[in-house]
Structure 1
């Protein structure tokens, strides 16, 4: 067998691998699909998690078929089609623990149905099931924005997470969604998912465009744009200050992107808008809701997968995932 691991900064390898024995509270998933995440690319750049120089197995967006079940595991049988929730595993699969999902056979320690292991609906393919994890991240960001039908929302960044946010916003009846990205391919995907507009922020006066699309609202002697909520899934250092400068009274901002350096925070300007700024991390409760929505949204979810490669070509997949032309790069495993 094989397992994708980080060995240092910029150094990822598909290593030979021997899976540990299955304990009485564990199970083994014969992996079928695992998506490449932007976090994987960041971990490789850093050179390991939690600290540089740590050999780190990768892969946390996985789905497959149960092939072994420990004697103490309840409610799960060999042959079950399942999604792995890495946040609910004791080893935090693919994000610093000893296991990663870019492998043929994944050991899930202390497996629990409804927590670390979730059933796949009958009519959902493995690769759509593997989209559950990034879509749950996106849903959590939207949940933190506290938006409802009729609100006006801006999403910065149209990578897989940002596009997932567009998907959930439109699915909730929010029609005034403006998506921002430098890549024309990603902007096209946002429009296909139902965005009101998709703009290149480097080529337009963003405040002026949002004033046209979302209107303007007086706010303590100045005028803010009519946008109700902003979600940062891009991580550009100017986004926070730009939003504060144009925000209306009591608007909201959610930061989901990983900002690796301190960013400017013009708190003085923020006083006149009394806006709320918060963050979103992971998916504490969202995975079951994502799975429930998959049957009705499976075609839109499938449209977010831009590339499909076998595990033997995962290194090429990492290169593709780093390009702005890609969306979700899916690695198919144990498939003919």
Structure 2
């Protein structure tokens, strides 16, 4: 077997791998699909986690079929089609522990149905099921925005997470303006139902949002009518730009990983009383994502831009780092 691992900064390898034996509380998943995540690319750039120089197994967006069940595991059977929730595994699969989902057979320690192991709905392909993890990240960011039908939102960044946010916002009846430098990603946002998709370097953002979302007076100044701004891009200028145009009691959610400190113009916020918060992971969202998959699977499938076998996962990492890509999906058991 094989397992994708980080061996240093910029050094990822598909290593030969001997899977550990399952214990009585564990299951083995025959992996079918695993998506490449932006955090995988970040871990590679850093050179391993939790600290640089740590050999790190990669892959946390996985789906597959149960092939072995420990004697003490309840409710999970051989042949079950499942999604793995890595945040509910003791080894935090693909994010610092010894296991990663870019492998043919994945050991899930201390497996629990409804927690680390979630059933795939009937008729949902494995590659759609593997989208559950990034879509749960996106849903959590949208949940943190606390919007309702008829509200207006802006999403900065149309990578896989940003596009997932567009999908959920549109699904909830919210008018969405999407921003991204790449034309291909803007086209995907429009296909998912965005009201507009714009290149932020080619527009006056305040003027465009005033046209699309209107304007609202606030303490002697006028803000745009946008109810929430979601940062899924991580550009250092986004926070100050939002604060400058935000209306009274609007909300900003930061989901992107900012690697350096950013300027925080707190004084300008006094007249808007806006809220700035953050979102990370998916504490409760995976079951809601799974429930929505049957009616949204066509839109979810449209977010997959590339499909490669495990033997070409290193090529997949390079593709995932390009702005033309969206979700790069690795088909584990197909060449």
- TM-score normalised by length of structure 2: 1.00
Q: Please report how far the alpha carbon of residue 334 of structure 1 lies from its aligned counterpart in structure 2 after TM superposition.
A: 1.4
**Structure 1 runs of 4+ off > 3 angstroms?**
none
Distance 1:208 1:51 in 2: 44
Name the structure 2 match of 1:317.
Answer: 316
Name the structure 2 match of 1:172.
Answer: 172
SS in 1 for 2:298: helix
Name the structure 1 match of 2:64.
Answer: 64
Distance 2:257 2:173 in 1: 28
Query: Deviations along 1:93-115, whole A, 9 cap, x unmatched?
Result: 00000000000000000000000
Pair 1:268-2:267 in alignment: yes
Pair 1:141-2:138 in alignment: no
SS in 2 for 1:19: coil
SS in 2 for 1:90: coil
Name the structure 2 match of 1:292.
Answer: 291
Q: Please report how far the alpha carbon of residue 173 of structure 1 lies from its aligned counterpart in structure 2 after TM superposition.
A: 1.1
Q: Please report how far the alpha carbon of residue 43 of structure 1 lies from its aligned counterpart in structure 2 after TM superposition.
A: 0.2
SS in 2 for 1:65: strand
Distance 1:45 1:230 in 2: 28
Output aligned runs, 1:226-265, within 5 Å.
226-265=225-264
Name the structure 2 match of 1:106.
Answer: 106
Name the structure 1 match of 2:302.
Answer: 303
Structure 2 residue runs of 5 or longer lacking an equivalent are none
- TM-score normalised by length of structure 1: 0.99
Output aligned runs, 1:1-336, within 5 Å.
1-174=1-174, 176-335=175-334
SS in 1 for 2:295: helix
Distance 2:150 2:208 in 1: 19
Distance 1:47 1:26 in 2: 29
Distance 1:78 1:217 in 2: 58
SS in 2 for 1:7: strand
Q: Please report how far the alpha carbon of residue 182 of structure 1 lies from its aligned counterpart in structure 2 after TM superposition.
A: 0.1
Q: Please report how far the alpha carbon of residue 335 of structure 1 lies from its aligned counterpart in structure 2 after TM superposition.
A: 3.1
Aligned-pair Cα RMSD in Å: 0.5
SS in 2 for 1:202: helix
